[in-house]
Chain A
Amino acid sequence: MVLTVDQSAPSVDSGLPARPSWRRGEEAAGLALISPTALYALFLLGVPILTVVAYSFWTQNYLEIDRSFTFENYRIALTEPIYRDLLLRSLGISLVVSFVTVVVSYPVAWFISFHGGRHKNLLLFLITVPCWTSYLLRVMSWKMILGYQGVLNTGLMSLGVITEPIASFLYNSNAVAITLVHSWAAFAILPIYVSLEKIDRSLVEAARDLGDGPARSFLRVVLPLSMPGVVSALLIVMIPTVGDYVTPRLVGGKDGVMIATAIQAQFGKAANWPLGAALSVTTMAIVTVVAGACAILLKLVARRIR
């Protein structure tokens, strides 16, 4: 608490007063307090990201960086079939995954919020615990499940459902999608749950009172009001999954390669940082646009529900 006394503050007659001293003290204290953290984030997040953007406009000649401005990297990123395909596939997978997780998680969030009772926090906790465990381990477990000699195949065989293992469980986009849905489902629940909790229960009661059945009152009142949470959930899943590295590497095989693999390669063996940077920026930009479009679309849909 910094208390300063401003003896120089003018009296009422001279119109607008000087900035009151308490404000100066508070502002300074607040800035001072947040500066270590903000500076840390600035130098270890802000600056690196800006560097990536800068690099995307340069060229790499073996070990040297040519800093003349060029769009060449972006041309490659957007037009080369291999990268274009990777981008589109990554986008497609992340879109599918985010919509599926939202659809699958919404009923759960609804159930906990409206019928959870005293056990709300416990249920929420149970659902989010898997989220916090090692991502790597979770993907590994799906590799074990979907493999040719994996849990699913051998289990089905020993039950007599199939006679031969199904090869197409693993090493393709579907495997990537399923694994991602599993990893991110619980993340989608939280924003939806939060926005459902904010809905005044008496609104639903009013709808029932005015003649709507449970289904209609849900569609007309709860769903539109929970849209912000749904949009949040979509963003929370879509943006990180488009750049996922571990899942395609472990369960994607050749058919499930995603853009992150290509990005990583530019920083490893292929040693083309500018291209890697351009790929990164492109991915970010495109997923932001797509996510934004989804958000707007959903908000329009919500508004049209009467």
Chain B
Amino acid sequence: MSLLKPSRWRVLPFYMVLYLGFLYLPILLLPVFSFNNAAATRFPLAGFTTKWYASLWGNREMLDAAFNSLVVGICVAVLSTGLAICAARAVTRYRFRGRRAANGLIMAPLFLPEIIVAVSLLMIVLQVGAELSLLTVILGQVVFCLPYSMAVLTAGFDGFDRSLEEASLDLGETAFGTFRRVTLPVVAPAILSSLLVSFTISLDEFLLAFFLSGTEPTLPVYIWGQLRFAAKLPGVLALGSLMLALSICLLVAAEFLRRRTERQLSTGAASHV
């Protein structure tokens, strides 16, 4: 029996490294080949160059798409977080009929294939006679980001000692004042985290944007269009690497904020059950 233990201990960390390698290496190939002085992604490598990155600057189309992505991302982040704040607060603080149903509806996109969400939204938009545009992309992506924002904010509100708000009221503050002076500051890191997460999701999101954008593409849609041209691949890789780097930075920031929330909230109240 004890023979089994040491060998398992040795195997598992090795397996973890393999696993992490499996997860990261394919992604890391993007930056690797974005600095490669060749148009094809093959070994052996053909020398270091930054020309692919340089070529991005003059690319009007790409810059427009980047701008679109930025606008869409910010709108989605704000809208999704705003809606999720209301809903998360409602779900964690109040009891009302239909709470579970509403929560289920909001979280549903997690359990649906994205194409069905995309297709259904496309149908509705065209039925109503509206035009596909960045606005439709924003509206669609919010549906998709809401579950993630909800998850972050529900956790934020859940961990929030209810008696903090009661204490504030007890000390003479009004309901709105309590929200401003106690609730908001304590939940602020979760709000920021939600903003960052939904911005990142929107930035990277392809399918909904593909179905719902009109003449103005977002970055992923632009990249999709470029994939037909083999020669443009390294430029696309350079762009992709930049997006990758940005996403990772934003995610690290969001995680950092989430941890700070946890620390703050868990030590504010007394430690008894």
The answer for the CA separation of A280 and B200 in the assembled complex, in Å, is: 28
Q: Is B19 an interface residue (CB 8 A)?
A: yes
Q: Is the interface of A mostly helix, strand, loop or mixed?
A: helix
The A-contacting residues of B in range 153-171, CB under 8 angstroms, are 165, 169
Interface stretch (choices B21-29, B53-61, B185-193): B21-29
Assess the B127–A51 pair: CB atoms within 8 A: yes
A-B contact count (CB 8 A): 248
Instruction: Give the number of residues in B that approach A within 8 Å (Cβ atoms).
Output: 90
The answer for the CA separation of A67 and B236 in the assembled complex, in Å, is: 45
Assess the A45–B94 pair: CB atoms within 8 A: no
Q: A140 — which chain B residues lie within 8 A by C-beta? A: 30, 223, 227, 236, 240
- State which of A34, A105, A125, A185 has its C-beta within 8 Å of the C-beta of B86: A34
Assess the B204–A134 pair: CB atoms within 8 A: yes
Chain A interface residue number, banded: 35 or more
Minimum C-beta distance from B228 to chain A (A): 11
The answer for the CA separation of A267 and B204 in the assembled complex, in Å, is: 23
Q: B33 — which chain A residues lie within 8 A by C-beta? A: 144
Q: Is B175 an interface residue (CB 8 A)?
A: yes
Q: Is B229 an interface residue (CB 8 A)?
A: no
Q: B243 — which chain A residues lie within 8 A by C-beta? A: 133-134, 137
Assess the B175–A44 pair: CB atoms within 8 A: no
Assess the B123–A55 pair: CB atoms within 8 A: yes
Minimum C-beta distance from B110 to chain A (A): 7
Assess the A48–B123 pair: CB atoms within 8 A: yes
The answer for the CA separation of A133 and B249 in the assembled complex, in Å, is: 11
Q: Annotate A103-123 by CB proximity to B: 1 below 8 A, 0 otherwise.
A: 011011001000100000101
Minimum C-beta distance from B249 to chain A (A): 11
**A264-B112 contact given A33-B86, A33-B89, A214-B4, CB 8 Å threshold:** no
Q: B111 — which chain A residues lie within 8 A by C-beta? A: 235-236, 239
Q: 28 interchain pairs (CB within 8 A)?
A: A27-B95, A34-B90, A37-B84, A41-B106, A41-B146, A44-B142, A45-B109, A48-B120, A51-B127, A108-B15, A108-B19, A115-B12, A132-B201, A135-B205, A136-B204, A149-B41, A158-B43, A182-B23, A214-B5, A241-B113, A242-B113, A243-B113, A245-B114, A245-B115, A263-B119, A264-B211, A273-B123, A280-B115
Interface on A for B, CB 8 Å cutoff?
A: 1, 26-31, 33-34, 36-38, 40-42, 44-49, 51-52, 55, 104-105, 107-108, 111, 115, 121, 123, 125-127, 129-130, 132-138, 140-142, 144-145, 147, 149-151, 153-155, 157-158, 182, 185-186, 213-215, 235-236, 239-246, 250, 260, 263-264, 267, 273, 276-277, 280, 283-284, 287
Q: Which A-B residue pairs are the 4 nearest by beta carbons? A: A243-B113, A30-B94, A48-B120, A34-B90
